[in-house]
Chains A and B, each alone.
Chain A
């Protein structure tokens, strides 16, 4: 990555009347990234995308792409193109006319337009549909036309607003990989808005999790999943067991935490806390929480006893809801290696939950 980031969003705020949609947000995105803005609806991610496209003007702050301040440049002069959520294909034009639209605005020579449209349609595998109108195509095909139409201008940045939301599940999974392939092939920086965490995890080089107009955390998918900074991110991405306690002491390798919710102490990896007796919040993913019918567990692991309350059978795995004596319910998931006929854990069983101290993540409050 260059020292100068390719896209720099600098202290951008956008208000609609009283309502603050984006709140003093700063973000750097590098060249060739496939960056996802992930968040629940109304978190400001679409507003941010629309500001990058130029449809909304920031109330304050700047947006700089490739060293040029674009804050006051209208959308039709920005080196940025968009794939809209509704695709926004012009219904009165054929596929070919839709794809050629952007080049025509640049007054590109006719022969060049024809060549580039042809090769673009080839890339999205729609050569045979040049003369079709949008309403004669399936959702997946329309999505690819929208992509071709935006990519043909070779923008510095391609914006995608929930590009897969209108497709059914099977098609969505296939298209995810196609999009990633096209991104790698063209080397264009993609910024995608999505509310689907799975989609963001599979496709992105980095993810920015947004909430209430602010970025909660920016990182690679595994950073976001394995080491969420905050309770919000831990909760929003995947399932999480979160509990709070008070720091007792810390030695060379571990920190020891007293926890009312569990009804006992537990240990985590050394964290270099500033002071003793500080409140600590900790998260453990369900798949890192093991479950067993045995009664004794190695001292190096944390363990807590409970009763199986519920089992959600998902086919490839099962999720066990275990109620502790304190009344707190924890989740542990386990792959179903064998047919369930084997000696399996069932409702009402007394079980032990155990986990390695390294697998607990300390959350910022």
Chain B
């Protein structure tokens, strides 16, 4: 009897271990996206909630649908939104590239350092991640301002005599994103470079490859999982970035995250903000799926 009871208890325990996080993520992560989709088809109104109902109960199993495509038409008709989307993709892509260019030598250097030095270097990469993101972005304001540290320094050295306008430019946004997301690039790169078998490079050298050839034909392909993972970890969140374009970018640095924020907080147009979000999600679906697939491949390889 105890056997049977403990068996049921066991099954119940297993089920709750599985179901609690599953339900949580379904209710608080998946469900909200469906609601977002619904609201993107509604119209704005004054009141609480500030949008019209899409489904109206008409008795029994019948619902009247009051959906409208108006928000999406508006997004297409106003060139501002299109520009914001393409600009976001461009900024995210270029920043990802900058991260890769700075991060790769960094990860390579860390992976080849002696174990003791390696841990310190790694800690130094992770440490900024633990400090406030907002404050790290803020730090650049003081550096980039017209009367900021960099201009002051350059003028003192006599390199320039007029302050360079750096703050509130696209340049500042590239800089801010690369700076903030650099650890996300370095860590997966390091993870894949660290796993690499160095006898492969010796074999390449033994077979006559010059260091540069060996790097291109062995090191880079071997670290491809890290390159993909790192790039996705930078590119995807950078597309929707709000804080950096808001603090460092100018009025003409359009990014979709900022547009969404303004639609929501300034114009209080929830349905339009939802439509902006839905399109952003559509843009992200492809890289998201690629990234997930990639994670699963890695997972299976580990087992």
Interface residues of A in 64-103 (CB under 8 A from B): 72-74
- In the complex, A73→B3 CA distance in Å? 7
Question: B6 to chain A: which residues have CB within 8 Å?
Answer: 74
- In the complex, A57→B64 CA distance in Å? 56
- In the complex, A326→B127 CA distance in Å? 77
- In the complex, A354→B3 CA distance in Å? 64
Residue of B nearest to A76 (CB): B6
- In the complex, A74→B4 CA distance in Å? 11
B199 to chain A, nearest CB (A): 26
- In the complex, A63→B269 CA distance in Å? 71
- In the complex, A73→B6 CA distance in Å? 11
Question: A72 to chain B: which residues have CB within 8 Å?
Answer: 3
Question: A74 to chain B: which residues have CB within 8 Å?
Answer: 3, 6
- In the complex, A326→B235 CA distance in Å? 74
Interface residues of A in 21-76 (CB under 8 A from B): 72-74
Q: Is the interface of B mostly helix, strand, loop or mixed?
A: helix
Q: What 0/1 pattern do residues 1 to 12 of B give for CB contact below 8 A with A?
A: 001001000000
Residue of B nearest to A72 (CB): B3
Question: B3 to chain A: which residues have CB within 8 Å?
Answer: 72-74
- In the complex, A74→B3 CA distance in Å? 8
- In the complex, A74→B9 CA distance in Å? 14
Residue of A nearest to B3 (CB): A72
Residue of A nearest to B6 (CB): A74
B303 to chain A, nearest CB (A): 15
Interface residues of B in 1-28 (CB under 8 A from A): 3, 6
- In the complex, A74→B6 CA distance in Å? 10
Q: What 0/1 pattern do residues 314 to 328 of A give for CB contact below 8 A with B?
A: 000000000000000
Residue of A nearest to B4 (CB): A72
A306 to chain B, nearest CB (A): 46
- In the complex, A314→B6 CA distance in Å? 59
- In the complex, A72→B1 CA distance in Å? 12
Question: A73 to chain B: which residues have CB within 8 Å?
Answer: 3
- In the complex, A322→B6 CA distance in Å? 65
- In the complex, A20→B37 CA distance in Å? 50
B39 to chain A, nearest CB (A): 47
B229 to chain A, nearest CB (A): 31
- In the complex, A72→B3 CA distance in Å? 8
- In the complex, A134→B6 CA distance in Å? 33
A73 to chain B, nearest CB (A): 7
Residue of A nearest to B10 (CB): A74
- In the complex, A73→B4 CA distance in Å? 10
- In the complex, A131→B145 CA distance in Å? 62
- In the complex, A72→B6 CA distance in Å? 12
B95 to chain A, nearest CB (A): 44
- In the complex, A198→B219 CA distance in Å? 46
B170 to chain A, nearest CB (A): 53
- In the complex, A283→B6 CA distance in Å? 54
B92 to chain A, nearest CB (A): 44
A70 to chain B, nearest CB (A): 11
B6 to chain A, nearest CB (A): 7
Interface residues of A in 167-192 (CB under 8 A from B): none
A119 to chain B, nearest CB (A): 32
- In the complex, A88→B240 CA distance in Å? 48
B8 to chain A, nearest CB (A): 13
B250 to chain A, nearest CB (A): 56
Residue of B nearest to A73 (CB): B3
B11 to chain A, nearest CB (A): 14
A68 to chain B, nearest CB (A): 13
A225 to chain B, nearest CB (A): 41
- In the complex, A199→B220 CA distance in Å? 48
B142 to chain A, nearest CB (A): 47
- In the complex, A73→B2 CA distance in Å? 10
Residue of A nearest to B2 (CB): A77
- In the complex, A13→B6 CA distance in Å? 25
A364 to chain B, nearest CB (A): 42
Q: What 0/1 pattern do residues 29 to 64 of B give for CB contact below 8 A with A?
A: 000000000000000000000000000000000000
- In the complex, A13→B3 CA distance in Å? 22
B167 to chain A, nearest CB (A): 53
- In the complex, A252→B6 CA distance in Å? 66
- In the complex, A73→B7 CA distance in Å? 11
A58 to chain B, nearest CB (A): 16
A274 to chain B, nearest CB (A): 51
Q: What 0/1 pattern do residues 212 to 225 of B give for CB contact below 8 A with A?
A: 00000000000000
Q: What 0/1 pattern do residues 61 to 78 of B give for CB contact below 8 A with A?
A: 000000000000000000
- In the complex, A116→B291 CA distance in Å? 56
A24 to chain B, nearest CB (A): 25
- In the complex, A72→B4 CA distance in Å? 10
A57 to chain B, nearest CB (A): 11
- In the complex, A232→B6 CA distance in Å? 44
- In the complex, A205→B6 CA distance in Å? 38
B73 to chain A, nearest CB (A): 54
B260 to chain A, nearest CB (A): 49
4 pairs from A and B in contact (CB 8 Å cutoff): A72-B3, A73-B3, A74-B3, A74-B6
The 4 closest A-B pairs by CB, nearest first: A72-B3, A73-B3, A74-B6, A74-B3
Q: What residues make up the interface of B, taking CB atoms closer than 8 Å to A?
A: 3, 6
Q: What residues make up the interface of A, taking CB atoms closer than 8 Å to B?
A: 72-74
